[in-house]
């Protein structure tokens, strides 16, 4: 145990002292803090912009067959948007060519030539990628068209307003195991991405550390002062704790920045609130999946890396484990994006240790899963991590002093079998 803690302390300290590790951590903390503070500077404009048309000047030309003048139509549109007279829509008396020139010169943001409430021509310059003009205007025109049609049919103004302002009220009641996938999607996707990056990044760091020591012959010195199992477990746990500390610092910075700027998350930015108001059980299960998933794959990476003699061979040896994890990631992402998270494939993946850290977490947040299913999955994950740790230690014991071409799978099993007989 003393050897394990010595290796653990050394490995964790090595990661924390690396300049790239420190720079990346600090840079991500600063970028996240700045990014989550930006709504503070844009909040005032977002709160005052309910339609996206405020501050614009739009010329209005009404056809003679509409029954209203350009002045009346402009006033009607401004009133519908809650704008003052002449603030947004302004009557225009020039020709179509003159209006085109005025829009080109920037005297007006847009020009509208109306044939009726349901038909118009828009004259404008560049249409923005996020342009909402047509959607807002068409909703306003439909409201005015319906009001005019109902008034012409003999309905009073009060009846017209009552019909137009009617709202549908919904009361949502879900079963105990039911989930709101729309509310869960964003944070589930983000946590799955974090888990994917953590396992790939830190798992390969463990593999690189093992391969570097072996290729430099430092392993021959280490193996004389510590047991191979202590070396492997110390390396894996050291990398895991360093990664966990890095994630705590980064996510802690994000949470702190959000708490400071939370009142400014309004409008479209309010969707971010779902990321920082997660249920405690979701956070705890995410942590369990993070830890289990990391150890399952880190043990595989460390064991496979011990089989190579040169750093150049490392990518070839760990590729099967990496590809397996990538396939699992794509299966989970497809299920997440389609909302079909309780398919037979996903259910099966929920109980396989190599796939359950991702699959069961997605089902936990977006599907219908019973408590006993989660418990069984966690037990199988723990058993799988322990089994892979034991197998990885056995491979590590054989591989650390093996030089030359990495053995084939059949040869590796034969060496492990012979080792058991000794």
Q: Strand runs (DSSP E) across 229-353, as ranges?
A: none
Q: How far is CA 382 from the centre of its chain?
A: 26
What mean pLDDT is predicted for residues 257-270?
77
H or E element that contains 29: helix 19-48
The secondary structure of 255-273 as a DSSP string is HHHHHHHGGG--GGGGGGH
Report phi then psi at 111, rounded to 5: -130, 140
Residue 343 sits at the vertex; the CA angle it makes with 341 and 318, to the nearest 5 degrees, is 75
How many alpha carbons lie under 13 Å from residue 343 in its C-beta half-sphere? 12
DSSP helix/strand/coil, 68: coil
pLDDT value at residue 86: 60
Q: How far is CA 303 from the centre of its chain?
A: 31
What mean pLDDT is predicted for residues 338-350?
89
Summarised one tens digit per residue, pLDDT across range 346-364 is 999 999 998 999 999 998 8
pLDDT value at residue 215: 64
Higher pLDDT, 404 or 103: 103
Residue 198 reports pLDDT greater than 80: yes
d(CA 230, CA 234): 6
d(CA 28, CA 197): 14
Ranked by mean pLDDT, the top range of 128-142, 161-175, 264-278, 326-340 is 326-340
Rounded to 10°, the helix 228-261/371-399 angle is 140
H or E element that contains 67: none
What mean pLDDT is predicted for residues 19-38?
88
What are the C-alpha distances in Å from 415 to residues 13, 215, 245, 411?
Answer: 34, 21, 37, 6
pLDDT value at residue 48: 43
pTM of the model: 0.66
Summarised one tens digit per residue, pLDDT across range 163-180 is 877 777 766 666 666 666
pLDDT value at residue 422: 42
Higher pLDDT, 214 or 368: 368
Contact of 357 with 292, CB cutoff 8 Å: yes
Contact of 222 with 231, CB cutoff 8 Å: yes
Residue 232 reports pLDDT greater than 80: no
| Cβ neighbours around 45 below 10 Å, total | 11
| pLDDT cut 90: percent of the chain above it | 14
Higher pLDDT, 46 or 149: 149
Q: Strand runs (DSSP E) across 73-177, as ranges?
A: 89-91, 110-116, 119-124
pLDDT value at residue 45: 45
- Least trusted range by pLDDT, from 51-55, 133-137, 138-142, 220-224: 220-224
């Amino acid at each position: 145990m003393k050897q394990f803690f010595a290796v653990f302390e050394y490995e964790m300290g090595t990661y924390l002292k690396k300049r790239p590790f420190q720079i990346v951590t600090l840079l991500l903390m600063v970028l996240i803090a700045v990014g989550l503070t930006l709504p503070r500077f844009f909040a005032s404009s977002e709160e005052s912009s309910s339609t996206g048309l405020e501050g614009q000047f739009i010329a209005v030309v009404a056809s003679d067959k509409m029954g209203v003048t350009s002045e009346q139509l402009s006033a009607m549109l401004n009133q519908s948007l809650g704008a003052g007279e002449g603030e947004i829509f302004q009557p225009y008396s020039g020709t179509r060519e003159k209006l085109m020139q005025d829009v080109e010169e920037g005297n007006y943001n847009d020009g509208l030539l109306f044939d009726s409430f349901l038909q118009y021509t828009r004259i404008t310059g560049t249409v923005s990628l996020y342009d909402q003009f047509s959607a807002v205007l068409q909703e306003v025109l439909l409201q005015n068209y319906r009001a005019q049609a109902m008034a012409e049919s003999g309905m009073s103004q009060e009846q017209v307003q009552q019909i137009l302002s009617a709202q549908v009220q919904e009361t949502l009641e879900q079963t105990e195991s039911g989930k709101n996938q729309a509310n869960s999607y964003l944070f589930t996707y983000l946590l799955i991405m974090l888990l994917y990056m953590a396992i790939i990044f830190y798992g390969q760091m463990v593999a690189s550390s093992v391969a570097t020591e072996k290729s430099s012959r430092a392993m021959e010195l280490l193996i004389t002062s510590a047991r191979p199992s202590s070396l492997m477990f110390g390396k894996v746990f050291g990398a895991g704790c360093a990664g966990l500390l890095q994630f705590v610092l980064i996510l802690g910075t994000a949470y702190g920045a959000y708490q400071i700027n939370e009142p400014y998350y309004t409008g479209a930015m309010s969707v971010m609130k779902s990321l920082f108001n997660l249920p405690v059980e979701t956070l705890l299960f995410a942590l369990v999946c993070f830890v289990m998933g990391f150890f399952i794959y880190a043990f595989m990476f460390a064991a496979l890396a011990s089989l190579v003699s040169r750093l150049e061979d490392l990518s070839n040896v760990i590729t099967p484990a990496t590809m397996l994890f990538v396939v699992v990631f794509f299966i989970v992402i497809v299920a997440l994006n389609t909302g079909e998270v309780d398919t037979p494939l996903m259910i099966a993946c929920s109980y396989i240790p190599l796939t359950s850290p991702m699959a069961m977490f997605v089902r936990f947040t977006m599907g219908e899963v019973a408590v006993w299913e989660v418990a069984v999955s966690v037990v199988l994950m723990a058993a799988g991590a322990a089994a892979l740790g034991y197998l990885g230690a056995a491979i590590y014991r054989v591989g650390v002093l093996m030089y030359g071409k990495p053995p084939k799978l059949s040869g590796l099993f034969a060496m492990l079998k012979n080792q058991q007989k000794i």
